[in-house]
Amino acid sequence: MNEEIYNLAKWAVDAAKTAGADDCRVGISKDRLIEISYRDKKPETIKEASNKNLFVEIYVNGRYSGQDTSDLRKESLNSFISNAVATTKLLAEDPYRTLPDPSYYEGRADLDLYIVDREYEKFTPDDRHNLVKTVENSCLEAGGDKVISVTAFVQDGRNESILMTSNGLEGSTESTYYVTGAEMSAKDEGDRRPEGYYYVVTVHKKDLPAPEKIGQVAAQRTLDLLGGKKIQTEKLPIIIENQNVPRVVGGFLSAMYGSNIQQKRSFLADKKGTRVGSNQFTLIDDPHLPAGLGSRLYDGEGLAAKKRIMIENGVLNAFYVDWYYSQKLGWEPTSGGSSNLIVPPGKRSVEEIMKDLGRGILVTGFIGGNSNSTTGDFSVGIFGKLFDKGVPVQSVAEMNIAGNHLEFWGKMVEVANDPWTFSSFITPSVVIDDVVVSGA
Amino acid sequence: MKTGAAAAAAAAIIPVLPSGCLRFSSESKTGYFESEFGISDALCRKVLAKALSRGGDFADLFFEHTISNWVILEDGKVNQAYSTIALGVGIRSVNGDQVGYGYTQELTEEAMLAAASIAATIANSSATSPAGEFTPLILENYYPLTGLLTDVPLESKLPIVQSTNDTCFDLSPLVEKVNVGFHDQQKRIMVITSEGIKAEDLLPRNYLNATVVAEKEGKRERAGWNLGGRKDFSYYTDDVIDEVARESVNRALVLFEAVQPPAGEMPVVLGPGIPAILLHEAIGHGMEADFNRKNTSTYSTMIGKQVAEPFVTIIDDGTNIGLPGSLNVDDEGTPGQKTLLVEDGILKSYMHDKISARHYGIEPTGNGRRQSYEHFIQPRMRNTYMLAGPATPDEVIASVDHGIYVEDVSNGQVKIGEGDFSFYVSQGKMIENGKLTAPIKDINIMGNGPKMLRNITMLANDFQMAKGGGGMCGKGGQGVPVGFGMPTVLVKSMTVGGVQS
């Protein structure tokens, strides 16, 4: 644990109490990040910085406010906190606004989450340059004469944070991360210059794929966009590629939040215990996944993190309810937000599934669109590849899918065996049957 | 969105202006970082020298102190307030098109020199020297204020928020839930360049927004509205409160009557004002010079060529009074100005920062912007608009047999290289036999930016800037406030996507 920020947090809790707060929650984060990008075989940007930030939430006379600052000079912080308390007193009273019952802090798992790379300090500036050069070169090579521009990048960082409340919570977290990838712009017919990219995020350096591979995938994903055109509107099965599944599940998830439920903006408010998707649709929230990008022992309010099956074989089991909305709704709190989300993988590869599906579209990206958490209706632009019995027919672009989440996930007929692990949302590709894909 | 605190919290940290100095002249914007944080010219010269210690074309320092406040109403009461204070300096060294960047939140000599030596690593030759003297830039004022936003007490903001809520409920018994927020931000910046420019500015930004959930016969609909910009606090009159409430409620209620139009290719009429987001997203981004310098934009070979019908003129402008994208000076010390992008259908200029301007051998256009001291400069839009034409709005609508009329769009996304975009139509109507008929909902419009620009066949005489203050544009992970405007426009064909395809 970092003593400097621990002591500052303790000081801030005392300062808030001294200034008249009944209760408070203080969080301090400290991080260092380094970022390098290359273009035309030379560094395009080099960036390095340290951040420190403090937030304090004040509870006084049944009133509430939250403040944060990067001005951590002690004299500034003193007036910052006392003014925060004075300000809070001017707001309307809200009986639901309290710190969590401390019993919910209890039961924190005693686990090593493996979210710190012990080798982090051994990653040198030369290592970074060599890594990003390799990503760039492999992308340039794989892109060949179609390349207009390639930018490759690496970013890494180390974060330490403290969370503390006046009713007994203390938590400290340390983590590391690495991001690397490339984006490429390619020559296509006419004026079109499709842009594709690929990047990965990991906690440990050893879990990064080979940099050559990352560059090649970025190039291939861009080349796959060449000649993209819309086809006639057609009802087809679609396969949503693993790394793109979160974008469309996200619209569903937003209706699972206590704030949207209490504010009457959720189509799932009365659906707990009922079927909201096909029996292929399972979603697990696992905060204890080793080396997971969303792994944690406690959440943003300090509630002890627990594994939950949010949706089990199509049946909605749980919501994301933070302390405040749990009080407003009269429900048990769970957590204010997701940790690692996992869709368990199926048995067959995307290639095998494609062969059996006949004519269909592999969706490799979404564009724009909307998801209405109140009604569950959504509509989003897609691009990807049209295939027939596993054989690619053409690239498709400028097309659209629309529907209602309850109906859409009800048509989820299969889950592939290819979970994408470079995200806190770990999901394989999924197959949705009978989707109207609108185009020309 | 993170929210924010009350003015009172901020007031103690920001020194109050000398009494009697209520009118906020450009003079009082200067000297802030020196008086508050001891940032002297001599110190800046030392830091710039460090940033150029391994050579490079130029270096600059960007100091920022920003106070942002949010006051929020939920379930009938103003019961949340949030505030954020951002303080720091970003140090950049530029070598050709290469950028070295370091930033620190500690405005001490030691921390700044450390950040400068990181920036310096982008070059690898012999040291160059910063200018011996910094000349303060005299700026126009495109966002006049009668006082500091941080001096407005919380007590003055609470009734605005409460009254917006109460007005919403008074307007219809179908209103079920109302959320209201008032946001104000005061950003002080100082840019110092190795070429000897010193520019200081104080940028206000604020808006009042409401979101309404209405319920009718078991169905729920939601809509919202906001007004604001770089305004003085006196902007928030009863009329503004009334418009925010009325638009929010009406927009939710109309959705109960809305139908989903058949999908397919059809003419689309874009109404005045807000639909200019399409101009910003689908066309404007492609004219930002970084994409063209790298040949990744479809417009990279089009300067001097016809990109639209001869009656189309597009401007990007930092000089509009009180609009979200207005800038007295950009974030790298280029004074606020107006840039003609497309004149009579011909592409005249891209939007430049200093790096792209050097690449093309021209003067920068004042489009060098950044989200904060943590970010480096990119060419970005300010207030982007298309000038009016000769037709009346009715004539434009009457020219369409079967199509849609778009009043508001959201959740747009564009792929710069292809120019392909997709937008969600949140408010609009059917056009049948030249007349506006049923309201529509739950559709996307899709198309290609450059193609859409060529397909604009009619312009009306009802030019309007969008009046919202909440519009943020995202690019490369950085958000900056922007404005946009347009008259009623006919696009002869676009793809409309919906469920009943």
Q: Using one digit for the tens of pLDDT, what is the confidence trace for A110-122?
A: 999 999 999 999 9
| pLDDT confidence tier of residue B262, bands split at 50, 70 and 90 | confident
The predicted-structure confidence for A253-297, as pLDDT tens digits, reads as follows 999 999 999 999 999 999 999 999 999 999 999 999 999 999 999
* Nearest chain A CA: its distance from B485 CA (Å): 21
Give the distance from CA A115 to its chain's centroid.
Answer: 16
The predicted-structure confidence for B440-477, as pLDDT tens digits, reads as follows 987 888 888 999 999 999 999 999 999 988 788 888 89
Q: Is B420 a residue whose pLDDT tops 60?
A: yes
Beta bridge partners, A33, equal A49, A157
> Please, what is the average pLDDT of chain B?
91
| Residue B471, in any domain of the structure | yes
Chain B's closest residue to A227, CA to CA, is B418
Cα B470 from Cα B410, distance rounded (Å)? 12
The whole-number pLDDT of residue B117 equals 96
Q: Is B25 a residue whose pLDDT tops 70?
A: no
- Cα dihedral sign, B28-B32-B36-B42: negative
Interface of B with A in 214-273 (CB under 8 A): 215, 219-222, 263-265
Q: Look up residue B448 and give its two tokens.
A: 């290609």
Of B83, B154, B444, the CB nearest to A400: B444
The whole-number pLDDT of residue B19 equals 29
- Residue A83, classified by CB atoms within 10 Å of its CB into exposed (0-12), middle (13-18) or buried (19+), is buried
Q: Look up residue A339 and give its two tokens.
A: 């940790």
Q: Which amino acid is at B360?
A: Y
B416 and A436: CB-CB below 8 Å? no
Cα B185 from Cα B66, distance rounded (Å)? 7
The whole-number pLDDT of residue B156 equals 95
Q: What is the ipTM metric for this complex?
A: 0.93
| Residue B308, in any domain of the structure | yes
Beta bridge partners, B496, equal B264, B445
A120-223 belongs to which homologous superfamily?
Answer: PmbA/TldD superfamily (3.30.2290.10)
Of A72, A264, A370, the CB nearest to B213: A264
Q: Encode A28-43: b = buried (16+ Cβ within 10 Å), e = exposed.
A: bbbbebbbbbbbeeeb
Q: Which of B225, B255, B285 is the last residue of a domain?
A: B255
A3-34+47-105 belongs to which homologous superfamily?
Answer: PmbA/TldD superfamily (3.30.2290.10)
Cα B350 from Cα B340, distance rounded (Å)? 9
The predicted-structure confidence for B325-342, as pLDDT tens digits, reads as follows 999 999 999 999 999 999
Q: Are B315 and B339 in contact (CB under 8 A)?
A: yes
What whole-number percentage of chain A has pLDDT above 90?
91
| Residues B221 and B77 both lie in one domain | yes
| Residues B364 and B481 both lie in one domain | yes
Q: Is B321 a residue whose pLDDT tops 90?
A: yes
* Any A CB within 8 A of B56 CB: no
| Residues B490 and B369 both lie in one domain | yes
Among the residue ranges A247-256, B396-405, B415-424, the one predicted with the least confidence is B415-424
- Cα dihedral sign, B415-B420-B422-B427: positive
DSSP states along A106-166: ----------S-TTGGG--HHHHHHHHHHHHHHHHHHHGGGEEEEEEEEEEEEEEEEEEET
Among the residue ranges A306-310, B5-9, B54-58, B244-248, the one predicted with the least confidence is B5-9
B80 contacts in A (CB within 8 Å)? 64-66, 91, 94
Question: Can you give the residue range of the structural domain that contains B400?
Answer: 264-497
The whole-number pLDDT of residue B10 equals 29
**A–B: how many Cβ contacts below 8 A?**
275
- 3-state class (DSSP) for residue B168: helix
| Residues B207 and B322 both lie in one domain | no
Q: Is B7 a residue whose pLDDT tops 60?
A: no
Q: Which of B255, B287, B319 is the last residue of a domain?
A: B255
Q: In 3D, which of A31, A50, A8 has the Cα closest to residue B110?
A: A50
| Residue B75, in any domain of the structure | yes
- 3-state class (DSSP) for residue B391: strand
| Residues B93 and B218 both lie in one domain | yes
A403 contacts in B (CB within 8 Å)? 499
Cα B439 from Cα A13, distance rounded (Å)? 53
Distances (CA, A) of B296 to A183, B280, B390: 11, 18, 35
| Residues B397 and B422 both lie in one domain | yes
Cα B462 from Cα A285, distance rounded (Å)? 52
- What is the number of residues in chain B? 501
| Residues B250 and B298 both lie in one domain | no
Rg (CA), chain B: 24
CATH for B221: 3.30.2290.10
| pLDDT confidence tier of residue B498, bands split at 50, 70 and 90 | low
B450 and A400: CB-CB below 8 Å? no
A367 and B82: CB-CB below 8 Å? no
A233 and B99: CB-CB below 8 Å? no
The arithmetic mean of pLDDT across residues B83-90, rounded, is 96
- 3-state class (DSSP) for residue A256: coil
A440 and B265: CB-CB below 8 Å? yes
- Cα dihedral sign, B385-B391-B395-B400: negative
Cα A142 from Cα A120, distance rounded (Å)? 30
B122 and A46: CB-CB below 8 Å? yes
Q: Look up residue A37 and give its two tokens.
A: 């990008």
Of B101, B179, B415, the CB nearest to A45: B101
**Interface mutation vs chain B, best among A53, A128, A148, A379, most B CBs within 10 Å:** A379
| Residues B352 and B391 both lie in one domain | yes
A369 and B86: CB-CB below 8 Å? no
| pLDDT confidence tier of residue B261, bands split at 50, 70 and 90 | confident
Chain B's closest residue to A48, CA to CA, is B102
Of A51, A68, A88, the CB nearest to B84: A68
| Residues B169 and B225 both lie in one domain | yes
| pLDDT confidence tier of residue B149, bands split at 50, 70 and 90 | confident
Q: Look up residue A393 and give its two tokens.
A: 């027919």
What lies within 8 Å, CB to CB, of A208 at 6+ separation is A178, A180, A200, A202, A214
Distances (CA, A) of B214 to A304, B250, B439: 36, 10, 17
Which pTM does this prediction carry?
0.93
Interface of B with A in 165-204 (CB under 8 A): 176-177, 179
Q: In 3D, which of B402, B399, B493, B397 has the Cα closest to residue B447?
A: B493
What lies within 8 Å, CB to CB, of B110 at 6+ separation is none
The arithmetic mean of pLDDT across residues B387-409, rounded, is 96
Tokens 């005045």 -> residue: B272
* Nearest chain B CA: its distance from A110 CA (Å): 32
| pLDDT confidence tier of residue B21, bands split at 50, 70 and 90 | very low
Sheet (strand A341-342) strand order:
A315-316, A308-312, A283-285, A341-342, A425-426
Determine what percent of chain B falls in helix, strand and coil, rounding each to the nearest 5: 25, 40, 35
- Residue B296, classified by CB atoms within 10 Å of its CB into exposed (0-12), middle (13-18) or buried (19+), is buried
The whole-number pLDDT of residue B28 equals 59
Interface of B with A in 310-369 (CB under 8 A): none
* Spans of chain A below 50 pLDDT: none
* Any A CB within 8 A of B4 CB: yes
Cα B429 from Cα B204, distance rounded (Å)? 36
A149 contacts in B (CB within 8 Å)? 294-296
> In chain A, what are the domain boundaries?
3-34+47-105, 120-223, 229-440
* Nearest chain A CA: its distance from B109 CA (Å): 15
Q: Determine phi and psi for A108, rounding to 5 degrees.
A: -65, 135
B97 and A44: CB-CB below 8 Å? yes
- Interhelix angle A74-88/A3-18, rounded to 10 degrees, is 40
B79 and A148: CB-CB below 8 Å? no
Structural domain tally of chain B?
A: 2
- 3-state class (DSSP) for residue A317: coil
A91 and B83: CB-CB below 8 Å? no
Cα A156 from Cα B362, distance rounded (Å)? 36
Gap between the terminal Cα atoms of chain B: 36
What whole-number percentage of chain A has pLDDT above 70?
100
Q: Encode A216-239: b = buried (16+ Cβ within 10 Å), e = exposed.
A: bbbbebbbbbeebebbebbebbbb
| Residue B2, in any domain of the structure | no
The whole-number pLDDT of residue A192 equals 85
* Nearest chain A CA: its distance from B473 CA (Å): 14
| Residues B318 and B443 both lie in one domain | yes
Q: Is B211 a residue whose pLDDT tops 70?
A: yes
| Residues B34 and B70 both lie in one domain | yes
B79 contacts in A (CB within 8 Å)? 63-64, 91-94, 97
| Residue B1, in any domain of the structure | no
Interface of B with A in 370-399 (CB under 8 A): 374, 376
How are beta strands A234-240 and A359-371 bridged, if at all?
parallel
What whole-number percentage of chain B has pLDDT above 90?
82
Q: Which of B255, B289, B317 is the last residue of a domain?
A: B255
- Interhelix angle B109-120/B41-51, rounded to 10 degrees, is 30
Q: Dump strand ranges (E) for B161-263.
A: 175-193, 197-216, 219-229
Q: Is B284 a residue whose pLDDT tops 80?
A: yes
B83 and A68: CB-CB below 8 Å? yes
Gap between the terminal Cα atoms of chain A: 59
Chain A's closest residue to B299, CA to CA, is A191
| pLDDT confidence tier of residue B105, bands split at 50, 70 and 90 | very high
What lies within 8 Å, CB to CB, of B274 at 6+ separation is B407, B408, B409, B466, B468, B484
Cα A432 from Cα B6, distance rounded (Å)? 49
B265 and A43: CB-CB below 8 Å? no
A86 and B9: CB-CB below 8 Å? yes
Of B9, B155, B423, the CB nearest to A83: B9
Q: Is B206 a residue whose pLDDT tops 80?
A: yes
A402 and B498: CB-CB below 8 Å? yes
Interface of B with A in 75-94 (CB under 8 A): 75, 77-88
| Residues B248 and B352 both lie in one domain | no
CA dihedral A35, A37, A43, A46 (to 10 degrees): -20
